[in-house]
């Protein structure tokens, strides 16, 4: 075989290789895209289809052992005693060490379980409570507005006064909120029962939002448009 023939054969071989590579590229790209899609869907299902997203049952350890069952259920402390600002503000505040020590200066003052409380109080720093219930940052929620129209604490937080360790009892998903906004009447209660978890609201008549009346007698029409909660 002459040098020219060898060069021609090599050129044909190289061209065939390049052709196979070009033909294989779309298949490779398609496989990579398919793998990426499957991975993304799997990750989304693993997150959004489990309690990691809805957080139902989320029960973090707190820096100080605290039982709502004892304080709220057995001793009868009103939710608003510790969670100040809930009636008027957007957020329900967490109790400061000074508030806790108003009682525990005299009640169990030598308890070893309350050493972290006494330390934060002595050092004048906040208690590093671990937040249990948290809506997404893009969701607007105002505690005061909901309490004023008759939505009780247990409607969103569950029977907290039965919990020895606080956990998230309800999903608080968008569907959960929209269900109440479409027909709030079954979820409303008189003002004197706002913090009572054992209160069972009545059944709405007619099933429309226009039938919902606040404890003050105002007919309610909660927003159903996106801007009502996503601002």
How confident is the model over 9-26, as pLDDT tens digits? 545 454 454 555 455 566
Range of the domain at 198: 68-94+129-228
User: d(Cα 227, Cα 218) in Å, to the nearest integer?
Assistant: 22
Claim to verify: residue 155 and residue 183 sit in the same structural domain: yes
User: d(Cα 187, Cα 180) in Å, to the nearest integer?
Assistant: 7
User: d(Cα 214, Cα 123) in Å, to the nearest integer?
Assistant: 44
pLDDT band at 81 (very low <50, low <70, confident <90, very high): very high
Structure-block tokens of residue 185: 């009447």
Question: Virtual CA dihedral for 20, 26, 32, 33, nearest 10 degrees?
Answer: -170
- State yes or no: pLDDT of 209 exceeds 50: no
Claim to verify: residue 116 and residue 36 sit in the same structural domain: no
Taking Cα atoms as reference points, which of 164, 157, 218, 155 lies closest to residue 188?
A: 155
Is residue 80 within 8 Å of 195, Cβ to Cβ? Answer: yes
Q: What's residue 206's pLDDT?
A: 38
For residue 180, tell me if it sits in a domain: yes
- State yes or no: pLDDT of 121 exceeds 50: yes
Is residue 111 within 8 Å of 70, Cβ to Cβ? Answer: no
Claim to verify: residue 122 and residue 142 sit in the same structural domain: no
Claim to verify: residue 215 and residue 136 sit in the same structural domain: yes
- Give the rounded percent of residues in the chain with a pLDDT score beyond 70: 74
Claim to verify: residue 208 and residue 161 sit in the same structural domain: yes
Number of C-beta neighbours around residue 199 at 10 A: 14
Q: Last residue of a domain, which of 110, 126, 142? A: 126
pTM of the model: 0.71
For residue 61, tell me if it sits in a domain: no
Claim to verify: residue 86 and residue 145 sit in the same structural domain: yes
Q: What's residue 1's pLDDT?
A: 54
Highest mean pLDDT among 28-32, 74-78, 133-137, 199-203: 74-78
Q: What's residue 130's pLDDT?
A: 93
For residue 7, tell me if it sits in a domain: no
Structure-block tokens of residue 215: 């404890």
Is residue 51 within 8 Å of 58, Cβ to Cβ? Answer: yes
Claim to verify: residue 106 and residue 142 sit in the same structural domain: no
> Residue ranges of the alpha helices (H) in 130-220?
143-148, 153-157, 174-182
- Give the rounded percent of residues in the chain with a pLDDT score beyond 90: 59
Looking at the structure of the chain, the number of domains it has is 3
* Mean pLDDT taken over the chain: 82
Q: Last residue of a domain, which of 85, 110, 126? A: 126
- State yes or no: pLDDT of 77 exceeds 80: yes
Q: What's residue 15's pLDDT?
A: 47
Claim to verify: residue 86 and residue 148 sit in the same structural domain: yes
User: d(Cα 22, Cα 215) in Å, to the nearest integer?
Assistant: 73
| Average of per-residue pLDDT across 76-98 | 93
Q: What's residue 35's pLDDT?
A: 73
């Amino acid at each position: 075989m002459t040098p020219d023939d060898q060069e021609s054969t090599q050129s044909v071989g190289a061209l065939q290789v390049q052709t196979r590579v070009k033909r294989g590229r779309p298949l490779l790209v398609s496989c990579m895209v398919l793998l990426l899609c499957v991975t993304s869907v799997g990750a989304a299902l693993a997150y959004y289809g489990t309690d990691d997203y809805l957080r139902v049952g989320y029960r973090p350890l707190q820096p100080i052992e605290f039982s709502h069952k004892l304080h709220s259920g057995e001793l009868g402390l009103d939710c608003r005693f510790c969670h100040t600002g809930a009636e008027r503000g957007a957020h329900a505040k967490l109790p400061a060490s000074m508030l806790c020590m108003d009682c525990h200066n005299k009640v169990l003052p030598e308890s070893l379980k309350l050493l972290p409380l006494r330390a934060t109080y002595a050092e004048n720093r906040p208690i590093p409570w671990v937040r249990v219930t948290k809506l997404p940052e893009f969701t607007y929620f105002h505690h005061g507005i909901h309490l004023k129209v008759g939505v009780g604490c247990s409607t969103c937080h569950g029977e907290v006064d039965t919990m020895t360790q606080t956990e998230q009892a309800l999903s608080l998903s968008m569907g959960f909120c929209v269900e109440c906004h479409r027909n709030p009447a079954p979820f409303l209660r008189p003002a004197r029962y706002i913090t009572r978890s054992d209160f069972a609201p009545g059944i709405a008549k007619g099933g429309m939002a226009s039938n919902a009346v606040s404890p003050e007698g105002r007919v309610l029409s909660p927003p159903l448009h996106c801007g009502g909660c996503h601002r």
